[in-house]
Chains A and B, each alone.
Chain A
Amino acid sequence: MNLAMNSALNSTINSGMAPVATPWFFYVLAGVAVISGVLVITRRNAVHAALALIVTLLAVTGLYLMLYAPFVAGVQIIVYAGGIMVLFLFVIMLVNIDRSSKERRFNRIWAVGLGAACALLALFVFAFTKGKALFPDRGMPLAEGSNTQEIAKMLYGEAGRMGQYTFAFEIASLLLLVAILGAVIMTKKKI
């Protein structure tokens, strides 16, 4: 049943449905993401950096949507933009931002770091140009409508059987639990 549906969907999509958005939409989102990424690492004020990061995340969310990944996009908004960034903002408020905003932004070896990063960028560029042929022109289409169900099946299983990722999922929840406990214990004033 599952298989049949998948193949049916694939055939309809392959038969020439257009991508969700036009290319310029991609360029806009990519540009926003990169520019606000630059802001994240350059802003002196951490609050500003955090806001820039939120923008980046939202732009990346847009990119996810363009990639037929609505569920991941949702997670991205809810967990990242909603949860993690609030956490960051709280922490920024807790720690002393006045002082850090007056000090040097970069450490002493910033030049080396920048050089290394540039080298990395160069490596990427080189790799991409060299390996361009490896990537197909258009991606395999995915069923957008049933995306969440499909993910759910893989995560939770169906018809009483464990899904492929159920165990990993449980482990992940345990990881979160440990992280929560760890965070609580570390931030408690007196244990």
Chain B
Amino acid sequence: MFFLDHIWLIPLFPAFGAAMMFFFGRRLQKATVNAICVGAVVVAFLFACFTVVEYTHFAHGTGRPLEKIVYTWLGGNGHLNFLKKDGTTASFNADAGFLLDPLSSIWLLFVTGVGMLIHIYSVGYMAHEGGYYRFFGYMNLFMFSMLTLILANNYMLLFVGWEGVGLCSYLLIGFYFHRKSATDAANKAFIVNRIGDAGFILGALTLSWYLGSFRFTDINALAHSGHFAIGDPVLTIAALLLFVGACGKSAQLPLYVWLPDAMEGPTPVSALIHAATMVTAGVYMVARSNAVFVLAPTAMKTVAIIGALTAVFAASIGLVQNDIKRVLAYSTVSQLGYMFLALGVGAFAAGVFHVFTHAFFKALLFLGAGSVIHAMSGEQDMRNMGDLRGRIPTTYKTMLIATLAIAGIPPLAGFFSKDEILWQAYRSAYGSFPYLWLIGFGTALMTAFYMARLIFLTFYGQPRMSHEVEHHIHESPKSMTGPLVVLAIGSVCAGWLGVPASLGGTNAFGKFLEPVFAQETAASVAPTAPQEPAGEEHRGLEWMLMVLSVVAAVVGGGWAYGYYANAGKGYTEPIAVQAPPLYTALYNKWFVDEAYDYAFTGRRKIGDVRLGAMGAGEASSWFDAKIIDGAVNDVGWVTRAVATLSKWWDKWIIDGPLVNGPAILCRFPLSPIARLFEWGLVQWYALVMVAGLLGFGVYYVWK
């Protein structure tokens, strides 16, 4: 039980690395930086592996969670109480406590694993960059935050990791801080995430106010207790608020806008944070809160619809983007939409499974893209690439595997997870959502198209780059290709963990997660949902859907082949040819950023009117300076005016006839006499005193 008892050490390894970089990084050699930071993550990965192995022994397949409380974080000696909604009191308390169950085990493994690979990759990728130690410090800090997030046993500690990853994302997007676009993107990421965070914190507080605890185990137990009806309004609101947080972190409509811009960061960052790990935190959190969500069908529906819409929306934008990383970014948003679709239809395990497989192939795609960019001397525009397959073969092969995986070609990883989601959406227990299936299906088609487009534009066709660039093209170093290969293996094999029963598999992945989700699914299904269709009867339908989606993948890829396989300089975009307005809209990302700038941030003016936060800020500033401070100054002015009047009165009325008048009177006839008594000779004054003395004496003697 050593590893389970010391589970709190896992986040501390990278934290140690980050602290070392913070204090001594500037003075360290690159090799030392590598040893510390990469070493910390490797140790964390190994530790995590042993921990999960120990946990499986501990749980014996029951999936009972392991909780390890280190110390009380929020709250004193338990006397800080507050009134819950039902009028009873609850103690304000959140521990620095760790929770390990199948859900967090999966995240733990792939976060540390993928994180480790990306750290190794970064050694090669960042070798020539400035701020080497800074980069690795931030990366380690990110690992710390992410591990805190997934190991936390309550919402508040989860929020520490939640905001922590947001901060690291901010720091890493803004890594090239001399570039304004990078810092703009960083700010955008943080602030948009903050909107989500505000929702998240309100959601967590609502839960605490309603249920009296931040702890997942307590909340789950209460949610399972049957005290709360399905559709409980407070729980619905709490779930929706939590989902706002998830939208921010996992880049869902309408808060997805930061993720494409986040590609300003170094590519390993995009791979680690903006593809594999951080953006799945929202999925993790919703899955973690499944007990609450299940009691709130409205929230579930919202999650599903938002997820599906995001998926198709982002995929549509991805169709026409030219920046290789942006395509991948929109692809990520789209895939995240898939995951939420799965969560929303109650297929938590399927969603988590897609997170798991997606981590491999999307990280691989980003790292591969990084390798391409590395080879192209920093060029990211696919219009200037082409015909790279022979020159960087390892990169080409691994990226091809990833593309096939994401497009859903069997038997690669993406096929299993994506089809599971589509199938679940189709036959969802939450009422029939064939529309959602249709959207998902369309998205699959688009996914295949834009991914194939990426591959063809990059690796096929005719070379379109300049000569110097062409001259410099070279395969990346071993430290970069190594992780690519490992991830490629993962992209092939990860799906085999969850082969569905219909294909003769055992769905080991789903079984492993079952204890986390099982009761809830049953509970939610019970009253309203139609009976779960028996496997055998629907196997035919399921196969049919599988075939359909594979066909969609092939068709999408085939279209792309037709348009881009031989793209030379000045190739044309098919959409631009056939529907120019649509192309403009897609190319400009449906003008969402512009709309937000007009409506919410206020960075753009409508005519002379500025709306949004900056508009409100300007209005408030004006109000403050003119009205409030103006009132204060007016009071001052009035006082001064009165004072001036008083001064005039004082000078010409009081001081004039009333004061100076008698004075003049005195001065002229009276003062010479008075001066006799006051002429400055000390002894004269003494004489006056003696006179006074005499006076007193005479008075007393003759009285």
**Residues of A near any B CB (own CB < 8 A):** 107, 109, 112-113, 116-117, 119-120, 123-124, 126-127, 130-131
Q: How far is the CA of A109 from the CA of B683 in the complex (A)?
A: 9
B687 touches A123 (CB 8 A): no
Nearest CB on A from B690, distance (A): 5
Residue B693 lies at the interface, judged by CB distance under 8 Å to chain A: yes
Nearest CB on B from A44, distance (A): 18
Nearest CB on B from A129, distance (A): 10
Assuming the contacts A126-B701, A127-B701, asked whether A116 and B681 have C-beta atoms less than 8 A apart, the reply is no
Closest to A112 in B: B687
B690 touches A117 (CB 8 A): yes
B687 touches A113 (CB 8 A): yes
Interface size on B, residues (CB 8 A): 11
Residue B698 lies at the interface, judged by CB distance under 8 Å to chain A: yes
Q: List 29 A-B contacts (CB under 8 A).
A: A107-B681, A107-B683, A109-B681, A109-B683, A109-B684, A109-B687, A112-B687, A113-B683, A113-B687, A113-B690, A116-B687, A116-B690, A116-B691, A116-B694, A117-B690, A119-B694, A120-B690, A120-B693, A120-B697, A123-B694, A123-B697, A123-B698, A123-B701, A124-B697, A126-B701, A127-B697, A127-B701, A130-B701, A131-B701
Q: How far is the CA of A131 from the CA of B693 in the complex (A)?
A: 18
Residue in A112, A116, A120 with the greatest tally of chain B CB atoms within 10 Å? A116
Q: How far is the CA of A107 from the CA of B701 in the complex (A)?
A: 31
Q: How far is the CA of A116 from the CA of B694 in the complex (A)?
A: 8
Q: Mark B669-703, 1 if CB is under 8 A from A, else 0.
A: 00000000000010110010011011001100100
Residues of A within 8 A of B691 (CB): 116
Top 9 closest pairs, chain A to chain B, by CB: A123-B697, A116-B690, A127-B701, A116-B687, A119-B694, A113-B687, A107-B683, A120-B694, A123-B694
Q: How far is the CA of A131 from the CA of B687 in the complex (A)?
A: 26
Closest to B698 in A: A123
Nearest CB on A from B675, distance (A): 15
Residues of A within 8 A of B687 (CB): 109, 112-113, 116
Closest to A123 in B: B697
Closest to A115 in B: B687
Nearest CB on B from A175, distance (A): 22
Residues of A within 8 A of B698 (CB): 123
Nearest CB on B from A103, distance (A): 15
Q: How far is the CA of A75 from the CA of B681 in the complex (A)?
A: 35
Residues of A within 8 A of B681 (CB): 107, 109
Nearest CB on B from A107, distance (A): 6
Q: How far is the CA of A120 from the CA of B691 in the complex (A)?
A: 9
Closest to B688 in A: A116
Closest to A131 in B: B701
Nearest CB on A from B687, distance (A): 6
Residues of A within 8 A of B684 (CB): 109
Per DSSP, chain A at the interface is helix
Q: How far is the CA of A130 from the CA of B698 in the complex (A)?
A: 12
Q: How far is the CA of A113 from the CA of B689 in the complex (A)?
A: 11
Nearest CB on A from B667, distance (A): 25
Nearest CB on B from A38, distance (A): 18
Q: How far is the CA of A178 from the CA of B690 in the complex (A)?
A: 29
Residues of B within 8 A of A130 (CB): 701
Q: How far is the CA of A107 from the CA of B687 in the complex (A)?
A: 12
Residues of B within 8 A of A109 (CB): 681, 683-684, 687
Closest to B689 in A: A116
Closest to B701 in A: A127
Residues of B within 8 A of A131 (CB): 701
Nearest CB on B from A100, distance (A): 15
CB within 8 Å of A: which B100-128 residues: none
Q: How far is the CA of A120 from the CA of B681 in the complex (A)?
A: 21
Q: How far is the CA of A64 from the CA of B697 in the complex (A)?
A: 26
Nearest CB on A from B680, distance (A): 12
Residues of A within 8 A of B697 (CB): 120, 123-124, 127
Residues of B within 8 A of A107 (CB): 681, 683
Residues of B within 8 A of A124 (CB): 697
Q: 16 additional contacts, CB 8 Å, given A107-B681, A123-B697? A: A107-B683, A109-B681, A109-B684, A112-B687, A113-B687, A113-B690, A116-B690, A116-B691, A117-B690, A119-B694, A120-B693, A120-B694, A123-B694, A123-B698, A127-B701, A131-B701
Residues of A within 8 A of B694 (CB): 116, 119-120, 123
Q: How far is the CA of A4 from the CA of B80 in the complex (A)?
A: 73
Nearest CB on B from A112, distance (A): 6
Nearest CB on A from B379, distance (A): 80
Nearest CB on B from A155, distance (A): 31
Closest to A127 in B: B701
Q: How far is the CA of A124 from the CA of B700 in the complex (A)?
A: 12
Residues of B within 8 A of A116 (CB): 687, 690-691, 694
Nearest CB on B from A2, distance (A): 36
Q: How far is the CA of A191 from the CA of B691 in the complex (A)?
A: 40
Residues of A within 8 A of B683 (CB): 107, 109, 113
Q: Mark B115-146, 1 if CB is under 8 A from A, else 0.
A: 00000000000000000000000000000000
Closest to A117 in B: B690
Q: How far is the CA of A116 from the CA of B701 in the complex (A)?
A: 17
Q: How far is the CA of A107 from the CA of B686 in the complex (A)?
A: 13
Nearest CB on A from B176, distance (A): 65
Closest to A122 in B: B694
Q: How far is the CA of A124 from the CA of B690 in the complex (A)?
A: 13
Q: How far is the CA of A131 from the CA of B703 in the complex (A)?
A: 13
Q: How far is the CA of A174 from the CA of B119 in the complex (A)?
A: 80
Nearest CB on B from A164, distance (A): 28
Nearest CB on B from A88, distance (A): 19
Residues of B within 8 A of A112 (CB): 687
Closest to B696 in A: A123
Residues of B within 8 A of A126 (CB): 701
Nearest CB on B from A126, distance (A): 7
Q: How far is the CA of A182 from the CA of B208 in the complex (A)?
A: 73
Residues of A within 8 A of B690 (CB): 113, 116-117, 120
Q: How far is the CA of A119 from the CA of B684 in the complex (A)?
A: 16
Residues of B within 8 A of A117 (CB): 690
Q: How far is the CA of A107 from the CA of B697 in the complex (A)?
A: 26
Residues of A within 8 A of B693 (CB): 120
Residues of A within 8 A of B701 (CB): 123, 126-127, 130-131
Q: How far is the CA of A93 from the CA of B97 in the complex (A)?
A: 91
Nearest CB on A from B307, distance (A): 85
Q: How far is the CA of A119 from the CA of B701 in the complex (A)?
A: 14
Q: How far is the CA of A14 from the CA of B698 in the complex (A)?
A: 37
Nearest CB on A from B98, distance (A): 71
Nearest CB on A from B700, distance (A): 8
Nearest CB on A from B600, distance (A): 69
Nearest CB on B from A135, distance (A): 15
Q: How far is the CA of A116 from the CA of B690 in the complex (A)?
A: 7
Residues of B within 8 A of A123 (CB): 694, 697-698, 701
Q: How far is the CA of A127 from the CA of B698 in the complex (A)?
A: 9
Closest to B683 in A: A107
Nearest CB on B from A134, distance (A): 12
Nearest CB on A from B26, distance (A): 55
Nearest CB on A from B681, distance (A): 7
CB within 8 Å of A: which B630-686 residues: 681, 683-684
Q: How far is the CA of A120 from the CA of B697 in the complex (A)?
A: 9
Q: How far is the CA of A116 from the CA of B695 in the complex (A)?
A: 11
Residues of B within 8 A of A119 (CB): 694
Q: How far is the CA of A53 from the CA of B143 in the complex (A)?
A: 99
Nearest CB on A from B678, distance (A): 14
Closest to B693 in A: A120
Q: How far is the CA of A148 from the CA of B534 in the complex (A)?
A: 123
Nearest CB on A from B683, distance (A): 6
Residue in A117, A119, A124 with the greatest tally of chain B CB atoms within 10 Å? A119
Q: How far is the CA of A45 from the CA of B698 in the complex (A)?
A: 36
